[in-house]
Homo-oligomer: A and B are copies of this chain.
Amino acid sequence: MIRPVKNWTTTTKVDLEMVLYGILGVDEKCQTVTVHIWVTKYWTNEFLRWNQSDFCGINEVSVPKAKLWIPEIVIQQDASNGDSIYEGPWAIVYPNGYMFTFFRQTLTFTCRFNLYKFPFDLQRCNITFVSIDTDVNSLVLGSAKNDSVLMVTSTQFMITQGEWGLKGIELVSGNITNGWRYHSTLSYIVTLERKPFLYVINFLIPLVYLLFLDLASFSISVDSGEKFGFKVTVLLSISVLLLILKDILPSTEVDLPVIANLCVAVFTLVWLSVLESMLVSFLLNLDPCCGKESKIIYMKKDIKVQKEADEENGQAKPEQSFFSLGKLGDVELLKLILEEVKAARQEAGSQKKPRCYRTVATIIDNLFFVGYLLTFAAFVVYIYVGWIDI
């Protein structure tokens, strides 16, 4: 079928009207958006005209599409399956030759996502209608309605209220070329706004809560075994969050999402804090050895005392002869008992006294805590710049 113009140089103007009925889903990994649209194409067939008065006032006629020239218009970004389009079999013609036809499509189209500000991101996706079979001299695309009317219509008809909200629709006309031929295009630039609610409660809140728990775990006594196990639990919880992130975001390197950096940074921070608490624990475990050394000192003293006692015994023997009948007298025995009891008390007490490496450990712990807090503050600034400002 031939384009229905009386003079072949006449350009046919095809007006499009796209109504967005629903946003069914967005696949960040594949970088595709699935929407439900109704498209109406309006144009004029110069040969299909009649005088209403001649035909009992008939003001519109349904004609099977198969009998007519229908402008072939495709969507450049369309990655749907072939069966996603439903086209009615009829075209409606008015007495002046103005006619229209419609189709509805569960359209899956590719869109270059910018996930830098995820989950607070806006996505601008193009749905570009292009007449690929006819060049710009034969067919020019236009819009049957202007931007604001479109936006009102779509907002009114939009049924779904899911993760994405429609922020705006813009219309841009243009041309594309494959080198020597120019094709008329009409782009609907659809701005979608993510509703971050679920990502905030499932991702950001647990992340921040875990970071706070890790910070708070510095208050747990370095001696208690709990601190260590707790930090490992926090570390594993954050690695679970990383896994969730992997299911959402594509492995792209352009415009690396702030949230990915954030996660890796928090993961590393908590990991360092586990290592640090292991170091502190190691230093504290060194101390018992130095406690043993002091014990050795006590023992030496012990032996010395024993020797002294022996010497005293030796010296004292003559004077003690009256009272002591055994080798040692009461006094010496009592002295020895006293030494023993003292030593026992000192040994028991030594486990509670400040040890050599404890101070080092405490200093490291405090320094790390300050560093932790500073990094934490740096994050807040980074996120502010990443999510709020730009």
Given contacts A219-B281, A326-B332, A344-B344, 20 further A-B contacts (CB under 8 A): A24-B31, A25-B29, A29-B163, A31-B160, A60-B135, A74-B86, A78-B86, A78-B104, A82-B83, A112-B161, A161-B250, A197-B251, A198-B246, A198-B260, A206-B239, A213-B274, A216-B275, A230-B232, A328-B331, A340-B345
Q: Which residues of chain B come closer than 8 Å to A188, judged between CB atoms?
A: none
Number of interface residues of A (CB under 8 A): 142
Min distance, Cβ A35 to any Cβ of chain B, angstroms: 9
Q: Which residues of chain B come closer than 8 Å to A340, judged between CB atoms?
A: 338, 341-342, 345
- What are the nearest 3 A-B pairs in CB distance? A198-B251, A82-B83, A333-B334
Q: Tell me if A44 counts as interface (CB < 8 A to partner B).
A: no
- The 0/1 profile, CB within 8 Å of B marked 1, for residues 37-80 of chain A is 00010000000000000001010101010000000101011111
| Residue among A2, A162, A196, A281 with most chain B CB within 10 A | A162
Q: Tell me if A13 counts as interface (CB < 8 A to partner B).
A: no
Q: Which of A78-133 contact B (CB under 8 A)?
A: 78-86, 88-90, 92, 102, 104, 106, 110-113, 132-133
A221 to B287, CA, bound (A): 11
Partner of A81, one of B81, B232, B244, B288: B81
B201 touching A162 by the CB < 8 A rule?
no
Q: Tell me if A167 counts as interface (CB < 8 A to partner B).
A: no
A325 touching B316 by the CB < 8 A rule?
yes
Q: Tell me if A381 counts as interface (CB < 8 A to partner B).
A: no
A324 touching B331 by the CB < 8 A rule?
yes
A88 touching B132 by the CB < 8 A rule?
yes
Q: Which of A218-255 contact B (CB under 8 A)?
A: 219-221, 224-226, 228-230, 232-233, 235-237, 239, 242-246, 249-254
Taking A237-B236, A264-B201 as contacts, is the C-beta distance between A275 and B212 under 8 angstroms?
Answer: yes
A79 touching B195 by the CB < 8 A rule?
no
Q: Tell me if A389 counts as interface (CB < 8 A to partner B).
A: no
A236 touching B233 by the CB < 8 A rule?
yes
Q: Which of A1-53 contact B (CB under 8 A)?
A: 1-3, 8, 17, 21-22, 24-25, 29-32, 36, 40
Q: Tell me if A209 counts as interface (CB < 8 A to partner B).
A: yes
Q: Which residues of chain B come closer than 8 Å to A282, judged between CB atoms?
A: 219-220
Min distance, Cβ A108 to any Cβ of chain B, angstroms: 9
B328 touching A335 by the CB < 8 A rule?
yes
B88 touching A74 by the CB < 8 A rule?
yes
Q: Tell me if A146 counts as interface (CB < 8 A to partner B).
A: no
Q: Which residues of chain B come closer than 8 Å to A21, judged between CB atoms?
A: 76-77, 79, 110
Min distance, Cβ A131 to any Cβ of chain B, angstroms: 10
Q: Tell me if A337 counts as interface (CB < 8 A to partner B).
A: yes
B86 touching A82 by the CB < 8 A rule?
yes
A88 touching B163 by the CB < 8 A rule?
no
Q: Which residues of chain B come closer than 8 Å to A106, judged between CB atoms?
A: 79-81
A352 to B344, CA, bound (A): 13
Min distance, Cβ A41 to any Cβ of chain B, angstroms: 13
Q: Which of A312-344 contact B (CB under 8 A)?
A: 312, 316, 319-320, 322-326, 328-338, 340-344
Q: Which residues of chain B come closer than 8 Å to A32, judged between CB atoms?
A: 24, 160
